[in-house]
Homo-oligomer: A and B are copies of this chain.
């Protein structure tokens, strides 16, 4: 339990991003700061990429007599006036302590907890705009799914953010479809958070020199030797697992805390390749046994990828036991878009690109790009043979193999070492 009296300051929380998932997470934490006023300040600033939006005539918010309805309005004004993100999360009432802010630097001002939830291609630009504007001892949580993989290497988004802003950044990922969470349908999530030990011990008084790199966890050690993180002043409640969990955990959104940032981030990226494979075998009509075999093999290739390339920090349990691993992969292989499009492609005998164009309204499948990126990375590491399912998906997309080949392609690797 958090102690109530010994900390003179409370944490201020900002959410950077306000799409479908960003707004949903803002709702979750806005509810929790209300329920835990001993730990958190009551206002949640939420950064909104400003745009004009015209309320549609069929919206319950449309009022022909109101200026808000008759012409396009600033999205921030609509959100703050209606307490609803009418564009990206329509129909969901937001707590009134969420304040939409079009100025990203102003959004994070004075905040000790920064939640990043925006499309990954904007991370660089947004962080550039935040440099020098962030409290040095702030801590981040990235809710951005995926990792950046190429033949150059493999970088976690939480790492990119942490390095750009010189703060520690953890990661949140799980079997979470934004709309279902927004509707308060029950699910679970995983938060990986492993900041410098000084945060929970709080041995250094406010304003004292930051800890040496010897105190940093291994991920930070390996990735940012030159980074010096500022200690959280003792006036604040510690940002330990219990308090971070308190900020995110709801009766409908169960949080498990882990330390493995790499594993949590990788699960959200690699599952999309597995979902394509599951769609391929399901499209062949091979039934639930084959699909669950693909999922099982996919989980083990995720484990192998993590242990191979993030051996400092990765734990196999993150993939096999947590929501960000096994649960997210199951959900993605049940009805996710990668699964559905791959299945349609096989059933209709059409290239997946054609299905993507027809079904996704110009959006792109994450699974296909991740399959190519991971292949390119594995090839650069000369390790394609160690990941037969990931490679099978790449080769099926490339036309080098057929979905029917999957059992043969994974077979040689299915023996144990006895």
Contact = CB atoms under 8 A, between A and B. Distances in A.
A176 interface: yes
A175 B288 contact: yes
19 contacts: A175-B289, A180-B290, A185-B290, A186-B289, A187-B292, A187-B293, A188-B293, A188-B296, A245-B415, A256-B414, A256-B415, A257-B416, A288-B331, A291-B330, A291-B334, A292-B327, A292-B328, A292-B330, A293-B323
Given A320-B321, A414-B256, A415-B245, A289 B180 contact: yes
B188 A416 contact: no
Interface string A327-348: 1101100110000000000000
A89 to B, nearest CB: 17
Interface string A255-299: 111100000000000000000000001000011111111011001
A240 B408 CA distance: 24
Nearest to A303: B321
Contacts of A240: 418
Nearest to A335: B288
B320 A251 contact: no
A30 interface: no
A257 B104 CA distance: 55
Of the candidates A186, A322, A407, the one having the most CB atoms from chain B within 10 angstroms of its own CB is: A186
Interface residues of A, number: 55
Given A292-B175, A300-B321, A407-B252, A186 B286 contact: yes
B185 A287 contact: yes
Of the candidates A176, A322, A323, the one having the most CB atoms from chain B within 10 angstroms of its own CB is: A323
A74 interface: no
A359 interface: no
Please report whether the interface of chain A is mostly helix, strand, loop or mixed according to DSSP.
Answer: helix
* Number of copies of chain A assembled together: 2
Given A258-B416, A418-B242, A327 B296 contact: yes
A336 to B, nearest CB: 8
A151 interface: no
Interface in A176-227: 176-177, 180-181, 185-188
A402 interface: no
A241 B418 contact: yes
Given A252-B407, A411-B254, A418-B242, A186 B323 contact: no
A277 to B, nearest CB: 12
Contacts of A252: 407
A326 B291 CA distance: 12
Interface in A120-157: none
A68 to B, nearest CB: 33
Of the candidates A180, A255, A290, the one having the most CB atoms from chain B within 10 angstroms of its own CB is: A290
Contacts of A331: 288-289, 291-292
A282 to B, nearest CB: 10
A330 B175 contact: no
A283 to B, nearest CB: 13
B327 A293 contact: yes
